[in-house]
Amino acid sequence: MLAFLVQRISQAFLVMFVISVIAFAIQDGLGDPLQQMVGMSVSQEEREALRDELGLNDPVVVQYLRFAGNALQGDLGNSYFYSKPTLEVIAEHLPATLELVIGASLIIVVFSVPIGVYAAIRPQAWLSKFFMGVSTVGISIPVFLTAIMLIQLFSIGVTVNAFPEGTGWGQWLNEFFSTEGGLPSYGRGDNLTHLFGTWYSGFFSYSGLMHLILPSVSLASIMLPLFIRLIRAEMMEVLQSDYIRYARAKGLSAGRINFLHALKNTMLPVITVGGVQIGIMVAYTILTETVFQWPGVGLMFLEAITRSDIPLIVAYLMVVGLIFVITNTLVDLVYGLVNPTVKLTGKKA
């Protein structure tokens, strides 16, 4: 176990090192931070002086060594725009994104498991086919389009007049397809509960929860179809295996077979793939947060790029790299717990 953890920690350092080198290598292409910082009437000399002061005239290697030296002491530089340490800026924005990811993950877990299992047990039922069809559509639609459609349907409201108003059935259909709207479409809401440090939570107030609904559903819409199909495929394969047939021959009830034996073995690859996907969701938060003006790290990163705020860009990339490594490590640990026959460090059993 110790060897495993040491291996993973050194992997984390390697990932962050590689990311920081790449980010530094491309920083010339990210735009000129001075353009964004100073006004139009600042003279060329003053700009040069500021450039010197910020250390932007030194060779790239020197700049990188300075950065690496500071990074090892925990200082990832100051954001040009916020004039605050980048880690502080990220810490202020991260809880919002984490809450969004938690909300989306809850929706995914609650919906994908029952639907996936049902589709596996009764693959021919029309409900299963319906869910499979919807999930194909869900994977195909880009997340920002889903977000915009959700806002139109549930925030503004849509009145359908396609069917003839005069008839009873026409009116009923019109009402069925129309929506009232009313859900909030931007921001996190007021009265967020302060948990600790910079974490202001929206889960404990009505306003916060209302604001969480549409963004979480949008974010979940990317991964939900994937998980449903994954659980269904894995479960169908497991249901074909020998020990399940033996259990049926032995006379165990269907419920016990499906939910105790089959499901546990289905969850193994789902956890591995799923864990990685949750990490990837961090990337999709950029799009979702932009549409909903959600003050998380995704929106912060997009704004940093527009402003050529290079320290913040580099710090964000490194933090995300770290999050990926941590997520993968946790997934492997959980896998090891669920399946005791697996040896994590790859040594002989």
Partner 1 sequence: MSESPGNVGKITLTPIKENNTRVSALLSGGVDFIAPVPPTDLDRIKRDDDSSLVTMSGTRIILFHMNQDRVEAFKNPKVRQAIAYAINQEGIAAKIMKGFATPAAQMSPRGYQGYNESLTPRYDVAKAQQLMKEAGYEDGFTITMMAPNNRYVNDDKIAQAVAAMLARINIKVDLKTLPKAQYWPEYDNRAADMMMIGWHADTEDSANFFEFLTFCPNAETGAGQYNAGKYCNPELDALVNQANVETDRDKRAAMLQEVEQRLYEDAAFIPLHWQDLAWASRENVKIEPVLNVMNFPYLGDLVVE
Q: Could you list the residues that contact partner 1 (CB under 8 A)?
A: 29-32, 35-36, 40-41, 43-44, 148, 151-152, 155-157, 181-182, 184-187, 290-293, 299, 303, 305-308
Residues 6+ apart with CB under 8 A from 54: 33, 34
What is the closest distance, in whole angstroms, from the C-beta atom of residue 233 to partner 1 in the complex? 36
CB neighbours (10 Å) of residue 310? 25
Residue among 35 and 253 whose Cβ is closer to partner 1: 35
* 43 C-beta neighbours (distance < 10 Å), count: 9
Min dist CB 40 to partner 1, Å, is: 7
Cβ atoms of 297 and 95 within 8 Å: the answer is no
Cβ 191 to partner 1 shortest distance, Å: 14
Report the greatest alpha carbon distance in the chain.
Answer: 87
Minimum distance from CB of 130 to partner 1 (Å)?
A: 30
Distance CA 102, CA 194 (A): 17
- E strands, 143-241, are 193-196, 199-201
Q: How far is the CB of 148 from partner 1 (least distance, A)?
A: 6
Element at 318 (helix H, strand E): helix 310-338
Minimum CB distance to partner 1 smaller for 152 or for 198: 152
Q: Which is nearer to partner 1, 227 or 316 (CB)?
A: 316
Q: Give whichever of 85 and 187 is closer to partner 1, judged by the CB atom.
A: 187
CB closer to partner 1, 112 vs 308 = 308
Contact 303, 313 (CB under 8 A): no
Instruction: Output phi, psi for 334, to 5 deg.
Output: -65, -40
> Rounded to the nearest whole angstrom, what is the least distance from the CB of residue 157 to partner 1 in the complex?
7
Distance from C-alpha of 112 to C-alpha of 348, rounded to nearest angstrom: 36
- Closer to partner 1 by CB, 198 or 290: give it: 290
Determine the Cα angle at 300 with ends 279 and 212, to 5°: 65
